[in-house]
Structure formats: C-alpha cells, structure tokens
Structure 1
C-alpha cells in the first residue's frame, strides 16, 4: 500500500483526521453483525488488541525515521482510539539505557543499536514506544508476559516508569521498590473496572522480587484474587488478561480452559488472552452463577515481523458494559476487527485494518475461521 506525497506532508493531527475520514467513507454499515446492537454506532466501552512485538526489523526501521515508531501504528488510530478504554500487551521491556547484563548503560543515541535496544531473544524497546502507543489511542498496557524480565528488575522498573510518564496505566507488574497493586483501575461509563494481567512464565529469567504476577501457582490464586477484588465495594467488575497457552497454536490448551472457567466462576466479566502470536477462538463461557462471560483465548499479534498468515493476522476485540436485572455488570456484544501487518515503502512494517487494504482479504477470512463470522465487525463505527 502506498500513500501520496501530499498525505505524508500533513501534520500528525491532520493525518489522523484523514484516516478517520477514510475509515468512515469505507464503512459499509455501522451495525455489528452479531449480538446486542444497542450500542452500535456509539463509542465502544472497551477495546483489546494483541501483542506489540517489536522485532529487530521494526526497531531498526524506526531508528531511521524522525517519527520513530509512530508510522507503524498510525493506520490503526481510529480503531484503537474509538473505545473509552483500549488495552494492549507490550511484549518486552521499554527500558531506557539498560544493557543485556541488566545494568545501567550509556545512551546509544538511537532507537536501535542491537545491544541496549534489541530484538529477540532478550528484547528491549526504546521507551519512545510508550508515547506512540498513547498517541495511537492506548490507555492500558499489559506488562505481565514471558519477556517482562528480559532486562531484569531494573528493566521492569524503567519500563513501568516510561509507560507512566507517557500517561498510560499498567497492569501485571509492579516496581521493585513498591508493593503496589499489579492491577489497573479504569472508570468506564461510570463503572470501576479492575484489569488483572498475569503471565505463565518469565522464560526462566529470575524475578527475585516477584514483580510479575503469575497466572499459576500464586497465593492467592488468580481466581481468589478476582473474587477478592469483586468483593470490594469500589470495584464493579474484573477483567482477566492472561499471558498463556502454546505459541503458534490456534487451539487453547486444557490449562487455558481451566483457568478461564475458574476466572469466570470467580466473577470475571471477561477474559482476554495473549502469547500464542496467532488467533485462538472467541467464545462465551457459562459461569457458575449463570452469567455469560466472553473469552478471547488469543488476539494474535498486533504488530510483529512474523510473516505467516496466522502471525500477521490479529484482531481488535470490542466489548460494551451493561447491568442485568440483578444489578450485575456484564461485558456484552463481543465483536472484532481483523488486522494485518504489511511492510510498505513509506511506513516500513505497519499494522492496518485488514478489510481496508488490498492484501487484507486472506486475513479477514482467517480471522473469521478462528474467531467466527457471526461477531466480525469489519468496519466498526468511528467517532472522529
């Protein structure tokens, strides 16, 4: 996909407006194809996207541009910013000047040098990614994942600092010098939500200060933590964000399913997973108290330089909030928008709404095969 010279000369604000106008012009309908349409054409309450996985290619391209990482996310600004609260998983540290030995290092003066800021297997992203995510419409960043300790405790601390300084909330880890809660509180439509992120692993890297919340083996367990948060009068609902499962598998494991059901039974109103780097099914669980609880086992990669169809296809999940006659808060009307990663001449590696690019049809079809065709929202409503 190529963009005109005139488009690239616009200011960042003008480019955002142009994208929103393009999106609106291309929308066939603003009514999702499945579920309760009471909030269709309104602003979604919640949006969730997949893994922000900045491989070396993406970092090196960003280092050669004055805009850094921004062009890679710009095509998705309307999709990410339309929800009241948007959540992504940052798959790795964004720790200023931390070496692979987990020590303070001299500033390399670039967004990528292969040492301080590096790709797989021990990631570290330039902290400018934090402001880019915020400007793209992200509100909450999940920091519990298997790469969370790639730069040790110092890296985890500086990542949290960078995200906080950019105006982002975080969930899943806490600073080494604080026992502060690892969940985020967000107010959406007058409801106070607790977002709890956890990880199955830190890739065997030490977490001596227990900064990363684990999905398994905690005391209290994740279901017990959900139950205790629900018992607080100031919290109206809990959403679990587990980093779990088997990489590159489109099928959730029995362990994923057990934790999802236990979380729903404990009172979670939604469960949105990450880690497999491919899409896994979107289902609704029946909780012990009769509630229907949406679970997305994996939303795949939001951005990466993994090029198989399954890896370059992701989804943004939208949910609304509503109370039932008993006054219980529910996550309702699940629908999703397929995304696709492409490498273009003007943006480098970037992520796009799959339905709006010529190459996107295979990703739309793949998302429908995995997530179901009944909840697809190819062109969701946009409020510019």
Structure 2
C-alpha cells in the first residue's frame, strides 16, 4: 500500500522544468527491479499546556490532535518524528517518582509549560498506531525529568514496541545511539543527537551531543557506512537557533561534516520554524540532503511561522549490492489551527503554502490526490 508514494517522488523531482531556488532534483533512478523506499520525517512534537489540557478534558487521545495527518504517514514506508520531552510515568521535574497518577495534566508530573515537559507514556503507542516507526529522543528537553526520565521513557518505548534513537539507559554506558531498520529491503541507520539539554547535566552519558561529540558521530557514521548491512544513514540533529528562518554556521558546518563522513541525509529539528532544505554533493560525488529544520509538528506556539511545519519525504533506491541513493524528495506543509494539525494541500491556506514554498520550493509539494493518482515506478 505504501509504495505507491515512491512514484510521485521519482516522477516529480527529476523534472527538467524550471526550478525555483528551493526546488531540488537528484540523478538517481527508481526503476523497476530496484529496491525503493520512502521515509517521512516531521519536526518537533511538543504537547504544550493548552493542547495537553484539551486532550485530557476532551478526546483523551493525543492522536486526536494530528488525526488528519495520519494518511500522509501511511503513504510512506517508514515514518520518523522528534518527541520533544520525556514520556516518563509518574516522574516530576526533580526526578521524584509519584507512581501512576492516571491520565491527567497536573503541572507537576505531567507538564507542558515553563520549559519543562513530561507526557503520559500513552503518547507512545498513539504515535506508533498513527504510523510513526521510530522516534528520536535527543533534544534540549531530554533531561527534563533527569536521568530517570530517560530511563522511564525508554522503558515505555520498549514496552510498546516503538524504536528510539539519541538516548540510552543510565545502566547501559555502551548502548547504541542509533538503530538500523530494514525498509523495503533498504537498510537505513538512524542516528539522533542534540546540541544542548537546557543546562541539565548528563551525569550518566545518556544523550548523544551533536557538537561536543561530533568526532564520535563522525566515527559512528564511518563505521556504519562500511557495514554490509547498512545501505543509507540518516542523522537527526536537534540544533540551531530558535525562531530563526535560516541555519547558523554550526548547522551548515556539521551537516557537511556528517555527510562527508558517509551520511545520506541530515534532517534537523529544534528552531520551531521551518528552515530550508538543500542538496549537497560530497567530495566523493554522492548526492545528499540537508533539511535544516522541519519546524513544529505539534506545539502550542502562536504565529504563522511557528504553526507551520512540514512532512518531508525522502526517496531512496538501491540496485544490487550497492549503497542506496536519493532519487527524490517531497513535502507536505502542515498547520496547527487551534488544537488540531491540518495538512495543507494545493488549494489550502495560501499564506502557509507560500511560507513553506520559500523553504522547500513548489515542485516537491505533495498532496493525497497527487499520491493516489500515480502508478508504481517504471
């Protein structure tokens, strides 16, 4: 069912038509006989207080906020998001365990304000059931419930069966910060990292740091790229300056460093607004992707820029025993109106479409009708 989407990427983004500065094209093919996979990515998932309280007092389902976007994840072969904040059962901001207090918003155990977050772990199976296949947990709110918060979140994620990257348990000092997933016979390694943890100390080295541990990440990428069971590598950094519409010097520098080491794509989050994507050709001739920030997927922040996000799609193809290549990229803008997130299609909110196009162009914009009207790759 999901592979229908691959043709849209293949046909839509190798076009020789005029291209605006943000429109991207790639030289790889997605022909019949190749292994082909599409991966979707979204940015920050933050359940701010107003949204959280509306869920507790209403549907009692986090997924009700993003319900209308679920078909867009289901059209990809694999979907990834950044869960910004712990999902630690019963833990307050000081690391104290209050036990299971139920599905409530009390501002002590479960909080979505004052820059300290924690969500009821019910959010994890709801993300999984909505089509998310992997979450990165490395972000500036990773330690909002101290070390035990990471432990409890990872425990819950394992219980519900949703893979995570970017953090590890306090009693597992050699645990991996990455996961390798087989997606339509293309084996993709996902690595999560963060620039900061809001000053919270990482006493047990549970978080992977994008800049402070860049050399470690580079070696990790090189090791993974040499493995026969890895066809592509996606790095998921949480980085950059909040509310800035363009990447800073560090984002540009480290993205290129990771790609030159062997990564296929760098897909960023944290600024809470969109930042542009670009194609980067490495010194060894590989065409790679940088998407500096996908903005907010779910967050309660006001203004068009903070209410607009993007679902970005990465198309990969592989022939024989070679490594996977990018054959195309696409995106669908999203917009939070009240406590719900809406996909914005071609006849939707003109301001949202124009804002997103300024970062990702127009040729790559996808909607469900476009997806469903296409045939398989030929």
Superposed CA deviations along residues 231-262 of structure 1, whole A, max 9, x for unmatched, are: 22222221111111100001101110111111
Q: Give the Cα–Cα distance (whole angstroms) in 2 for the partners of residues 363 and 378 of structure 1.
A: 14
Superposition TM-score, scaled by structure 1 size? 0.85
Are the structure 2 counterparts of residues 84 and 248 from structure 1 closer, same or farther at C-alpha, using a change threshold of 3 Å?
same
Q: Give the Cα–Cα distance (whole angstroms) in 2 for the partners of residues 304 and 39 of structure 1.
A: 39
Show the counterpart of 2:286: 291
Q: Secondary structure at 1:45's aligned position in 2? A: strand
Q: Secondary structure at 1:133's aligned position in 2? A: helix
8 A contact 2:36–2:318 mirrored in 1: no
Show the counterpart of 2:96: 103
Number of aligned positions between the proteins:
351
Q: How does 1:33-182 map to 2 (within 5 A)?
A: 33-35=12-14, 38=30, 45-120=38-113, 121-178=115-172, 179-182=174-177
Q: Give the Cα–Cα distance (whole angstroms) in 2 for the partners of residues 299 and 54 of structure 1.
A: 17
Superposition TM-score, scaled by structure 2 size? 0.87
Are the structure 2 counterparts of residues 356 and 98 from structure 1 closer, same or farther at C-alpha, using a change threshold of 3 Å?
farther
Q: Give the Cα–Cα distance (whole angstroms) in 1 for the partners of residues 282 and 318 of structure 2.
A: 16
Larger relative contact order, structure 1 or 2 (CA cutoff 8 Å, min sep 6): 2
8 A contact 2:86–2:150 mirrored in 1: yes
Over the aligned positions, Cα root-mean-square deviation in angstroms equals 2.6
Q: Give the Cα–Cα distance (whole angstroms) in 1 for the partners of residues 337 and 155 of structure 2.
A: 31
Q: Give the Cα–Cα distance (whole angstroms) in 2 for the partners of residues 339 and 312 of structure 1.
A: 8
Are the structure 2 counterparts of residues 161 and 39 from structure 1 closer, same or farther at C-alpha, using a change threshold of 3 Å?
farther
Q: Secondary structure at 1:131's aligned position in 2? A: helix
Say yes or no: does 1:211 pair with 2:206: yes
Q: Give the Cα–Cα distance (whole angstroms) in 2 for the partners of residues 300 and 219 of structure 1.
A: 23
Q: Give the Cα–Cα distance (whole angstroms) in 1 for the partners of residues 131 and 104 of structure 2.
A: 22
8 A contact 2:30–2:36 mirrored in 1: no
Q: Secondary structure at 2:66's aligned position in 1? A: helix
- Listed as ranges, the gaps of 5+ residues in structure 2 are 15-25, 374-378
Show the counterpart of 1:355: 345
Q: Secondary structure at 2:241's aligned position in 1? A: coil
8 A contact 1:242–1:272 mirrored in 2: yes
Show the counterpart of 2:219: 224
- By how many angstroms is 1:328 displaced? 2.8
- Listed as ranges, the gaps of 5+ residues in structure 1 are 1-19, 344-348
Say yes or no: does 1:373 pair with 2:362: yes
Q: How does 1:11-30 map to 2 (within 5 A)?
A: none
